[in-house]
Amino acid sequence: MKTRPTGIGTSNANWMSSLSPKLTAMPLKHLAVPGSHDSFSFWVDVKAPVGPDQKAIVKYLATAFRFVSKKVMKKWSMTQNLTFKEQLDAGIRYFDLRVSSKPGESGTEIYFIHGLFGHKVRDGLSDINSFLDAHGKEMVFLDFNHHYAMGMEHHTYLINMLQEVFGPKLCKIGVVEEITLDYLWENKYQVIVFYHHPSAESCPLIWPGNKCPAPWANTTDTTKLFQFLETTLGERAKMGSFHVTQAILTPRVKTIVKGLVKGLRNYLVERNLPIILTWVETQKPGVDGINIITSDFVELTDFANTVINLNNLLLNEQDRRKT
């Protein structure tokens, strides 16, 4: 099955600043925001050692299929094609980030990782910051949810790096329900960082990970995926946190063996993205609805536009209340 035409031709670089004032006054947790899964994986280093995240999938390939090169691993590690800037231009505003030091490397440098190592984190953050400099009314969620081979010195380095790169753009921890685009604009905040490790607890500019839960279905079956997403949406906290809906399928070892040469995109994602997008189209933001939605290969369907346009449902609801 072919995927739907991409919406990348239409720039969404300023979609937040273009929203109705009724929406910019609403809590951000009630808006529909497009995000990407393993956002950094548009480039991975096939020359570097296999990463210490040691996913079961990669471990299995490394032990059972020694003839499989890292070029094949790359096909199962990459979940995005677009760079950070391209994703931002397309409208993506939530980034799923997994990071690691490089074992055996001196110093405290941190890299993105998904089975294989990606770019240095500092380079990726600088790219995001450059976009924010040019688009002063757009904001991003940065979710550092997995940390590998990192001691306290690495965490300190990364937390300091976030403050150095983004400076006054970092939104201080506050009441989630009070975080609106109007509030961010008034304070010139553009970045909300979630950090799923206790090392950031003393920093008032780094939000704890429990403020942004992202339940994971861990399935290759779209029916099971939708059941899981709807159940977790129904159970999402009414107060005190944002919420991530991971509209993604996760390959099992047998999935990889069957589609070894084709890779994640060609074997699993492309044929399922249209039905996943159809499910997204049926969603509604708001108090009990979706907030952040993530996808693999965000440019293969009209994903970002579809999610952004869901916010019109909130305006329609307000108009109905008035009549």
Tokens of 308: 């952004």
pLDDT of residue 127: 98
Q: What is the pLDDT of residues 141-163, one digit of tens each?
A: 999 999 999 999 999 999 999 99
- Which residues are registered as beta bridge partners of 14? none
Tell me the backbone φ, ψ of residue 195, rounded to 5 degrees: -135, 110
pLDDT of residue 67: 45
pLDDT band at 65 (very low <50, low <70, confident <90, very high): low
From the list 114, 147, 155, 197, the catalytic residue is 114
Tokens of 284: 């509604």
Tell me the mean pLDDT in the region 158-172.
98
Tell me the mean pLDDT in the region 81-99.
97
pLDDT of residue 134: 97
Tell me the mean pLDDT in the region 193-215.
96
Is 114 an active-site residue?
Answer: yes
Is 155 an active-site residue?
Answer: no
Show Cβ contacts of residue 297 under 8 Å, excluding neighbours closer than 6 positions.
79, 80, 81, 265, 269, 270, 273
| DSSP result, 37-57 | TTTTTT---TTSPPPTT--HH
Tell me the backbone φ, ψ of residue 198, rounded to 5 degrees: -65, -15
Percentage of residues in the chain with pLDDT exceeding 70? 85
d(CA 262, CA 269): 11
From the list 37, 147, 154, 243, the catalytic residue is 37
Domain range 23-321, its CATH number among 3.20.190.10, 3.20.20.190, 3.40.50.11540, 3.30.479.30? 3.20.20.190
Q: Please answer whether residues 310 and 284 qualify as being in contact, where contact means their C-beta atoms are separated by less than 8 angstroms.
A: yes
* pTM, full prediction: 0.91
pLDDT band at 261 (very low <50, low <70, confident <90, very high): low
